[in-house]
Chain A
């Protein structure tokens, strides 16, 4: 048994090699590894809200943006590198402000439910971005607000490792939430609000907890994003770009499989890699004669792929990617390998159908 577990551990080595060695190869790889890590954090934040709590959110980019805006403004480095202390303070402030905003949206969600909530979150995200992020004192106008990393994290690989540690933190929180009374309470609310109440779950409190945890994670992702670009620019989150981000985040969590953290993280990294800011497609297109097509159309490629995967998922594969990789994750967890798995022990969580509407 021990030998078998060790053998399976060895099978993880290629994965670890990709995660730790590939981004070390060059600054470009490190830079975009960190971008993938940021997406993974957003994916996990969506997972808590949509996957566990069953509340739809088409405005998650607002929390990410608030995190970035706050972190950058707290630290506002100018041209010098941040002190480690103010750096930490900036990140914490980003988390706090985003969590606060999520609390507000959560309070709204207590009154407005279902499809109308989807609409409200969409409007909430758009308005927060367009009204708050464009305030000249906060967005640094054309120049943006600079957020230069502390010296220790100046290198791309070092920053990548830092971002990875933040993902690990989110994963830890996700796991703790899921296996404690909080996660059980949230899932119970999602599936059977009446039963949850009969078990003593406080509907109001738990919905708010779901929003706050999700908002905090998104805020963390945003804070890290501010230091990734080393500045806050509202254009990353407003109007068309923000709308596109918001929908990509929904696509991520659905394609990954609601409530399935492995699937969501894989999907998030995938969408980071095909996003317009990613070098991967550009690199690929340079190797082929599709180069100019790519640069003309790069803003639409991730939309198209994402949408196609989303539709494929909800029509044909409601469990999402999480269900597809379930045999593999089960195997790593020490169970015998099987494609079908015992439906009873499947690690798959929810489907879109379980979102309350």
Chain B
């Protein structure tokens, strides 16, 4: 039997890319939520979002393993420290870079966040230049196998399920936060008309602090969930280098202002990547695709969305 005679579905394992795609996509969505949040409140792209995750993951790792002079603590406490590190980094960014530039053109703030990204990568590297990885959820809890079940031989990892669940909870939580709490509404008010918001007595400084704090928390959560084997690492710049641009694309796909949009955009990006990366060598002439198929696919999707539908596929204010 020649390969050509076999049906498509038998040649391409559809389960593998779907599961991979959703798992990676959840990561993009998780970072995308933070990007959307900052965009909603400050109308800027926060290039430092990936490194908020990096700092969170690194702090968790260092305390979990008792690096250098740090105490060695159980994973739960280490994770709390990691989340705090993410929040504090974001707050420091807000205070030292964003606040002084508040009334300058947005591009200055964006270059500022690029600077913070570089600085965080640098400082992470100076503190901890080697790589590492956090334990997966099954290892922390002490389960026998890392997967819940296997579908067609492809394991459905607990870690991936956790990522998806956390992403869904956060997206819904953030949605409710913006819809139903005073602080959430105030953030939206500031983003739409800061002068009017000030007139009705909303403190823009306080709102900015809160937003960045939440972004730092989201970053920290993303870092702790994603810096696990096999793909994730605790390496300076890892989140910015490999995940952030796709997370941005996810957020743009979702319209940059929509939290559910970032969620859906993330999953879609993950799937696009996974299917672009699948093995198509059985198709004659496609045996030597460039090794960066998924990156090209992401770039093409981003460009098409920006050119054809700049408001995103789901773009509208929540």
- Is the pair B302, A120 in contact by a Cβ cutoff of 8 Å? yes
Tell whether A303 is near chain B: CB-to-CB under 8 Å: yes
Interface flag for B10 (CB, 8 Å): no
Contact B116 A307 (CB under 8 A): yes
Residues of A within 8 A of B97 (CB): 311, 315
Query: Does A333 sit within 8 A of B, measured CB to CB?
Result: no
- Our pick among A108, A304, A356 for the contact of B119 (Cβ within 8 Å) is A304
CB distance from A251 to the nearest CB of B (A): 7
B240 and A307: CB pair below 8 A? no
A162 to B95: give the CA distance in the assembly, Å.
47
Is there an interface contact between A123 and B249, defined as CB atoms closer than 8 Å?
Answer: yes
Is B274 among interface residues, defined by CB-CB distance under 8 A? no
A300 and B111 alpha carbons, distance in the complex (Å): 19
Interface residue tally for chain B (C-beta within 8 Å): 48
B123 an interface residue at 8 Å Cβ cutoff?
A: yes
Interface string of A129-140 (1 = CB under 8 A from B): 011101100000
Bin chain A's interface residue count.
35 or more
| CB-based nearest A residue for B246 | A123
Contact partner of A306 (CB less than 8 A), chosen from B45, B104, B118, is: B118
Assess the A304–B112 pair: CB atoms within 8 A. no
- Which residues from chain A contact B105 at a C-beta distance below 8 Å? 352-353, 355, 357
- Asked if B65 lies at the interface with its beta carbon under 8 angstroms from chain A, I say no
Please indicate the chain A residues that have their CB under 8 angstroms from the CB of B116 in the complex: 307, 311
Measured CA separation A143–B112 after assembly (Å)? 39
Question: Are B298 and A311 interface neighbours, CB within 8 A?
Answer: no
Contacts of B110 in A (CB 8 A): 115, 118, 357
Judge whether B16 is part of the interface by a CB distance below 8 angstroms.
no
For residue B181, CB closer than 8 A to chain A, the reply is no
B119-A131 in contact (CB<8A): no
Cα distance A120–B300 in the bound complex, in angstroms: 10
Pick from A108, A243, A306, A318 the residue with the most CB of B within 10 Å: A243
**Chain B's nearest CB lies how many Å from the CB of A97?**
17
* A–B Cβ pairs within 8 angstroms, 26 of them: A56-B111, A58-B114, A112-B307, A114-B107, A115-B106, A127-B299, A131-B295, A131-B296, A134-B290, A239-B241, A247-B118, A251-B118, A299-B125, A299-B129, A300-B236, A303-B122, A303-B125, A304-B118, A305-B122, A307-B119, A307-B122, A311-B97, A311-B112, A314-B108, A352-B107, A352-B108
